[in-house]
Structure 1
Amino acid sequence: MTDHPRRRARVQPTPRLPADSLAYTIDRAAALVEAVVGGKALTEMIHLERITELPAPVRGAVLDLTYGSLRDYARGDRVLAHCLSKPLPLHLHAILLVALHRLEARPDTAHTIVDQAVTAVGAHAPGLKAVANGVLRKVGRERAMFEQMLEKDAQSHHRHPNWWIRLLETAQPEHWQAVLAAGNQHPPMALRANLRQLSLADASAQLTEAGLSHRILDNGALLLDTPVPVDRIPGFAEGRFSVQDAGAQWAAQWLAPRTGERVLDACAAPGGKSAHLLESADIALTALELDPTRARRIGDTLARLGLSADVRIGDARHPEHWWDGQPFDRILADVPCSASGVARRHPDIKWLRRATDIAGFAAQQSAILDALWHTLAPGGTMLYVTCSVFDAENRDQIAHFCARHADARRIAIQGRMEHQLLPDAEHDGFYYALLEKTR
């Protein structure tokens, strides 16, 4: 994030705003944006700010404003830097960021947005209402000038950090602009049918009957035309469907476990891929997760689907603490990464990550791969997966691993030695490579 040392002190949201007002919604969204600017992860702050306890319409509006404001952060922050001669307290700065996003998304309601944003500022600092009003009205009057200014700045135009843009230009010289554009869009919603309970044809028919228009993709993912709350999905509570990105649904198919095999899902939380593996074949699955809190989510996921696995808490880099010594036939190595392929779902990632973080993730991935390789049986296969679009975490990582391990052989998946899925209208960004242990 841009450093703002003179406005680092947080101003807590006020309860004095009517809960059904746009001013209240802007203020609550600003609290989340403020926390991210201060270095906090959005998912954590949604919990700490108790956003999930708000009434559903208010919660949805707060989150929509928050996600949109973070996607547009580079634009809003650049505009405020141009307009403000003195920095504002961070919460008030965040209120204006949210208001600027709303103005760009809904210019037809500019009068209401300015009025309600100024009201939110006034609830904290009445003496700064005129400043907020002046900034927002200036942006409205001089919209064309600001658009030209933002178009000339790569970070503002693409709504991603400059270092991120440079890495993508190198990794995807033909597609980098499309990837950046996708990272600024609302993500698609795909479902996975639990084929232990119903066929794909029956699953599609049930969605159609429920009024959910969709398409069946090549890997059997059910892509909804419009995202919906999970309570709209028929049989979700009974385990007939799971929400899982279409790109992630290749993992179980490409690892292709067979009945009776011992399979490890390393870094398994929240359990979507573990569940898909168990739905695919009768296997003995070990689901490994480092974080105890996230590990509990694996159990919840499997329980809803009527599935079971050996869920263990441990560090994939240290099998001596969790492995029983019996080799696995197949390993899904869905490793921690920059998450650069899912930034539209987690827009805070763009602004919390640093260029130096990529080397750190690559080192962690390397350690995990080396450790897990020792637990794989000769003739067994490991599927390496990231939700990254950066080469250092993907093709470079696999090339370095194969250079270190003479017993590693790359296996083609659908005729290709690697699959780099780039985020688009159907799926998020993922990387896949399949390795066989030859001896």
Structure 2
Amino acid sequence: MNDDKGARPRAIAAQVLDAVLHRGRSLKAELATALPALADVRDRALVEAICFAALRQQARADAALRAWVPRPLGKRDGALRALLHVGFAQLDPLGLPPHAAVDATVGAARLLGRAHQRGMVNALLRRALREGLPDARADAGWPAWLRDRLRADWPEDFDAIVAASASPAPMWLRVNRLRGSRDEYAERLRETGIEATTGEALADALRLHVPVAVAALPGFDDGDVSVQDGSAQAVADALAPPVGSRVLDACAAPGGKAAHLLERDPSLRMTALDVDPERLERVRETFLRLGVGEDADLRVADGADLEKWWGETTGDRFDAVLLDVPCSATGIVRRQPDILLHRRAADLDALRATQARLLDAAWRVLAPGGVLLYATCSILQAENAAQVDAFLARTPDAAAEPLDARFGRVSGAGRQRLPGEGGMDGFFYARLRRR
């Protein structure tokens, strides 16, 4: 593609959206592949912003196409539909200069091999400028099965969950206390013109007033700071392993939570597992950047398959286990809006079975008197409170220990934070002690 008045980043955004909307691809994975093709950091930021905005308002854009296009777009028009979503997102909600947005998007049609449809793109975008996109119900983009479950689980909070999930997430930082204090790093940010607020209940957290590119963070490459939501940072406080203890992170990738524990206590004897070799390599890279875990035991393994990585006759038990299980990710829709496209009701049964299998296995490797933290980024009670209640019912030597209000509202034997509460992601925590 040749750049033409900003047409190239719009065309790339359309290609990403086409893959996500029509081929079931992951937004995160597509952006990871597409963004390096853009040399200008501003173009990369633009593509990312367009894709997130387009997915968050997909229902409104589709309503406009149904109302304004006489003949419905067919399967072969995926790229065109994606490009129109790109154009609509620039006008509303991003509010980019209309003339430049329209011209660049029309130019992108040619780069996508749709030169013969430039007139149509131009006409539809100009109509959107005149009339605005049609309104749609706030929960229109949510699959019916998920709406029903959320209304049943959180009847008084459903509207707030939907609103928070449709809003851009703030940028949270975790300061590496091995490299300096949070206050010192906040001052370094101010010196570069970046304003941040401390997270009162989070000892290592800063919340930026305005998100910035990672490259703009002083000392990021040197391991002085990481990007991590406040809810994920709270895991270290909820687990709180004893100094120098033996710790297992059974689902470790990409490694941020294990690294946080090691930043707080480098004497921890850390074992980190992940079933995917490439994802485990990310854990290794995270530890290397942050200067932690030099002696950590990193293993490619399914945490529930104890015969493959741990034997009862030879394996030492752990003093603390972090079990941040695979889940529906319904608490982080604002960070991964394509969850609403790809998650299916049938997925929940499979996820719950995996979670139960991991819980039972992790309990076997936990030493008597040890603590297991069960965590998810879900807001569905079937994966959270109900999962833990079922585990406690079948595990006589397990007892739940209370967590305080820093971790959200009481939910069964644990605590639940809903999306947006405290500016953080939706997250569940349950602290379990082995008698």
Please give the per-residue CA displacement for 1:176-199, whole angstroms capped at 9, x wherever unaligned. 211211111221111112222323
- Whether the aligned pair in 2 keeps the contact of 1:32 and 1:46 (CA below 8 Å) is yes
Task: Give the distance between the partners of 1:68 and 1:214, measured in 2 at CA.
Answer: 24
Map of 1:87 onto structure 2: 73
TM-score, normalised to structure 1's length?
0.89
From 301, 305, 309, the counterpart of 2:290? 305
Task: Give the distance between the partners of 1:244 and 1:320, measured in 2 at CA.
Answer: 33
How much does 1:122 deviate? 4.1
1:392 correspondence with 2:382: yes
1:370 to 1:128, Cα distance in 2 relative to 1, 3 A: same
Task: Give the distance between the partners of 1:83 and 1:294, measured in 2 at CA.
Answer: 44
1:98 to 1:261, Cα distance in 2 relative to 1, 3 A: same
Q: How does 1:210-229 map to 2 (within 5 A)?
A: 210-217=192-199, 218-220=201-203, 221-229=205-213
1:436 to 1:24, Cα distance in 2 relative to 1, 3 A: same
1:348 correspondence with 2:338: yes
1:52 to 1:371, Cα distance in 2 relative to 1, 3 A: farther
Task: Give the distance between the partners of 1:304 and 1:367, measured in 2 at CA.
Answer: 33
1:421 correspondence with 2:417: yes
- Whether the aligned pair in 2 keeps the contact of 1:215 and 1:222 (CA below 8 Å) is yes
- Whether the aligned pair in 1 keeps the contact of 2:35 and 2:44 (CA below 8 Å) is no
1:207 to 1:333, Cα distance in 2 relative to 1, 3 A: same
Please give the per-residue CA displacement for 1:267-324, whole angstroms capped at 9, x wherever unaligned. 1011110111112222101011111001011111111111111111100120211125
SS at 1:393's partner residue? coil
Q: How does 1:92-111 map to 2 (within 5 A)?
A: 92-106=80-94, 109-111=97-99
Map of 2:128 onto structure 1: 139
Task: Give the distance between the partners of 1:255 and 1:189, measured in 2 at CA.
Answer: 23
Task: Give the distance between the partners of 2:428 and 2:94, measured in 1 at CA.
Answer: 36
Map of 1:127 onto structure 2: 116
SS at 1:105's partner residue? coil
Aligned AA for 1:227? P
Task: Give the distance between the partners of 1:119 and 1:318, measured in 2 at CA.
Answer: 53
Map of 2:260 onto structure 1: 276
- Whether the aligned pair in 1 keeps the contact of 2:4 and 2:107 (CA below 8 Å) is no
Aligned AA for 1:280? R
Deviates more, 1:244-253 or 1:130-139: 130-139
Map of 1:62 onto structure 2: 47
Please give the per-residue CA displacement for 1:218-237, whole angstroms capped at 9, x wherever unaligned. 11211111112223322222
1:435 correspondence with 2:422: no
- Whether the aligned pair in 1 keeps the contact of 2:352 and 2:382 (CA below 8 Å) is yes
1:102 to 1:264, Cα distance in 2 relative to 1, 3 A: same
Aligned AA for 1:58? D
How much does 1:118 deviate? 2.8
Q: How does 1:282-301 map to 2 (within 5 A)?
A: 282-301=267-286
SS at 1:237's partner residue? coil
Please give the per-residue CA displacement for 1:399-434, whole angstroms capped at 9, x wherever unaligned. 111112111111101275422111216211110001
Q: How does 1:232-243 map to 2 (within 5 A)?
A: 232-243=216-227
Deviates more, 1:176-185 or 1:133-142: 133-142
SS at 1:392's partner residue? coil
How much does 1:336 deviate? 0.7
Q: How does 1:371-390 map to 2 (within 5 A)?
A: 371-390=361-380
TM-score, normalised to structure 2's length?
0.89
From 402, 406, 429, the counterpart of 2:396? 406
Deviates more, 1:316-325 or 1:288-297: 316-325
1:125 to 1:208, Cα distance in 2 relative to 1, 3 A: closer
1:315 to 1:32, Cα distance in 2 relative to 1, 3 A: same
SS at 2:162's partner residue? helix
Task: Give the distance between the partners of 1:231 and 1:412, measured in 2 at CA.
Answer: 40
SS at 1:133's partner residue? helix
Task: Give the distance between the partners of 1:20 and 1:226, measured in 2 at CA.
Answer: 29
Task: Give the distance between the partners of 2:184 and 2:104, measured in 1 at CA.
Answer: 48
1:109 to 1:243, Cα distance in 2 relative to 1, 3 A: closer
> For structure 1, which runs of at least 5 residues remain unmatched after alignment?
1-14
- Whether the aligned pair in 2 keeps the contact of 1:74 and 1:160 (CA below 8 Å) is no
SS at 2:371's partner residue? strand
Aligned AA for 2:146? W
Paired residues, what number?
Answer: 415
How much does 1:358 deviate? 1.8
SS at 2:372's partner residue? strand
1:70 to 1:51, Cα distance in 2 relative to 1, 3 A: farther
1:78 to 1:409, Cα distance in 2 relative to 1, 3 A: same
SS at 1:356's partner residue? helix
Task: Give the distance between the partners of 1:108 and 1:262, measured in 2 at CA.
Answer: 52
Map of 1:337 onto structure 2: 327
1:300 to 1:108, Cα distance in 2 relative to 1, 3 A: closer
Aligned AA for 2:430? A
- Whether the aligned pair in 2 keeps the contact of 1:341 and 1:423 (CA below 8 Å) is yes
How much does 1:390 deviate? 1.0
Aligned AA for 1:419? R
Aligned AA for 1:140? L
Task: Give the distance between the partners of 1:72 and 1:109, measured in 2 at CA.
Answer: 19
Task: Give the distance between the partners of 1:407 and 1:234, measured in 2 at CA.
Answer: 47
1:114 to 1:53, Cα distance in 2 relative to 1, 3 A: closer
1:73 correspondence with 2:69: no
How much does 1:359 deviate? 2.0
